[in-house]
Amino acid sequence: MALETLLSETLGIVRKPILPKVLNKKLTLITGGSSGIGLAVARQIGEAGGTVILVARGLENLEIAKKEVEELGGTAHIYTCNLSDTDSCKALVEKVLEDHGPIDVLINNAGRSIRRSVDDAYDRIHDFERTMDLNYFGCLQMILGFLPSMRERKKGHIINISSAGCQSNVPRFSAYIASKSALDAFSRCLTNEVAQDNINITTVYMPLVRTPMIAPTKTYDYLPVMSPERAAQLVLKSLVTKQKKVTTPLGSLAEVVYDVSPTSATRIMNLSYQFEEKLRAYQAKQKAKKAQAEVA
Ligand SMILES: NC(=O)c1ccc[n+]([C@@H]2O[C@H](COP(=O)([O-])OP(=O)(O)OC[C@H]3O[C@@H](n4cnc5c(N)ncnc54)[C@H](OP(=O)(O)O)[C@@H]3O)[C@@H](O)[C@H]2O)c1
């Protein structure tokens, strides 16, 4: 019941228990379904009585996730796979198709984020390769693997979990944002090839969400960020509406500002970048002073 209410609030138009109807006999594969946003989506689908296939590298967390989904009333199948590895992706697609046949919904959610300025990455091409391996090539392989059976059946929905950083061009995330944008660009072209086959592709421009992914960045501890449950509703909303783009007001505003005045957008983001650089330098200085005082 709580989910229906939340969906009603999010969509503004849904008054009935729509999710169980939308999910009826549908098979949804969620990559990265053992943690954070993916797990929250799985739980809510479970609550609505749906069936999910959860994919991640770690078996232990997948088993916990399966148990949770089933306790909520859903069905969960779990598969381990390293989505950064081509052979592992191929094996996953083959196994899932063999075990379950075609899937109805693919949620490309597993992702890797790297927060590092380009200034600190001149000798770190692997930062760019690693993000591309998972956030682009891993997702791409899922799409290439599951799309043929979707097209054959003339139905399917692919949901890519992107980032609001793609809308705001946030500094220090160039490797991450570039990899997410690659998937976005691919999907926009693809949608123009498959629309006649009733294949829907959605990109969710996710804002900051309180998950293990952002835990290493201590600055985020003080920011008001979205809960995984609320983030899951954005994903589920797209499952219902099949809209091409899911965004937050702040993400849309960032796009508008850039379209209207790219120079102003750059000034704002550059100021925030410089502010953090200065803050870091100040904090390092204070730390050194304190250490010196302790020695003396
Ligand atoms: N959190 C945010 O603020 C935020 C903001 C914007 C966008 N996003 C996007 O939202 C998505 C979910 O993020 P999250 O915050 O929920 O992350 P999370 O809590 O860290 O969960 C990541 C999930 O992906 C799986 N995974 C990671 N690497 C994998 C690999 N190589 N192969 C297979 N599975 C892998 C993890 O399981 P294993 O480690 O066991 O493999 C885990 O289930 C990501 O695409 C992220 O870029 C997040």
pLDDT digits (tens, 9 = 90+) for 145-184: 999 999 999 999 999 999 999 999 999 999 999 999 999 9
Domain spans of the chain, in order of start = 2-249, 261-296
Q: If you search the block for the tokens 């600190």, which residue do you land on?
A: 120
Catalytic annotation, pick one of 79, 176, 205, 258: 176
| pLDDT band per the 50, 70, 90 thresholds, residue 10 | low
Looking at the chain, the whole-number percentage of residues with pLDDT higher than 70 is 94
**Best probe residue, ligand 1, of 86, 139, 161 (max atoms within 8 Å of C-beta):** 161
Return the bridge partners of 75, or none.
51
Q: What is the pLDDT of residue 63?
A: 98
2-249 belongs to CATH 3.40.50.1370:
no
**Per-residue pLDDT at 14:** 40
User: Residue 12's pLDDT is what?
Assistant: 42
Whether residue 176 lies in the annotated active site: yes
Helix (H, G, I), strand (E, B) or coil at 245: strand
Residue 271 has pLDDT above 60, yes or no: yes
Task: Out of 211, 233, 247, give the residue to mutate to test ligand 1, the one with the largest number of ligand atoms within 8 Å of its CB.
Answer: 211
Position 217 scores a pLDDT of 85
The mean predicted confidence, pLDDT, of the chain is 93
CA nearest 93: which of 36, 138, 61?
Answer: 138
* Cβ of 80 less than 6 Å from ligand 1: no
Return the axis-axis angle of helices 86-100 and 139-153, rounded to nearest 10°. 30
Asked whether residue 16 carries a pLDDT value surpassing 70, the answer given is: no
The whole-number average pLDDT for the span 124-132 is 98
**Residue of the nearest CA to atom 19 in ligand 1?**
36
- CB burial string 112-138: b at 16+ within 10 A, e below: bbbeeeeeebeeeeebbebbbbbbbbb
Q: Quickly list DSSP for 257-289.
A: HHHH-HHHHHHHHHHHHHHHHHHHHHHHHHHHH
Q: How confident is the model at residue 226 (pLDDT cuts 50, 70, 90)?
A: very high
* Residue 225, pLDDT above cutoff 90: yes
Q: 101's torsion region: left (phi>0), alpha (psi -120 to 50) or beta?
A: left
Q: Does any ligand 1 atom lie closer than 6 A to the CB of residue 216?
A: no
Residue 67 and residue 54 in contact, taking contact as beta carbons nearer than 8 Å: no
- Structure confidence at residue 104 (pLDDT): 98
Q: Which residues contact 31 (CB under 8 A, 6 or more apart)?
A: 38, 55, 56, 83, 107, 108, 109, 110, 138, 139, 142
Q: Is 40 in the pocket of ligand 1 (CB under 6 A)?
A: no
Q: Where do the DSSP E strands lie in the chain?
A: 27-31, 51-56, 75-80, 105-108, 156-163, 199-206, 245-246
Q: Taking 60 as the threshold, does the pLDDT of residue 13 lie above it? A: no
Predicted confidence at residue 2, as pLDDT, reads 53
d(CA 48, CA 33): 16
- Residue 147 is predicted with a pLDDT of 98
| DSSP bridge partners of 157 | 105, 200
In the reported structure, the alpha carbon of residue 110 is separated from the centroid of ligand 1 by a whole-number distance in angstroms of: 4
For position 15, what pLDDT does the model report?
Answer: 41
* Dist CA 156 CA 102 (whole Å): 9
Average pLDDT value for residue range 58-68: 98
Phi, psi for 84 (deg, rounded to 5): -85, -5
What is the pLDDT at residue 177? Answer: 98
pLDDT value at residue 222: 83
In degrees to the nearest 10, what's the CA dihedral of 263, 268, 272, 274? Answer: 40
Structure-block tokens of residue 294: 């302790």
Check if 58 has its Cβ closer than 6 Å to any atom of ligand 1.
Answer: yes
Please give the Cα distance from 241 to 252 (Å, whole number): 19
With CA atoms as reference, report the closest residue to 36 among 58, 20, 17, 4. Answer: 58
Model confidence at 24, pLDDT cuts 50, 70, 90, reads confident
Predicted local distance difference test score (pLDDT) of residue 6: 52
Index of the ligand 1 atom closest to the CA of residue 133: 31
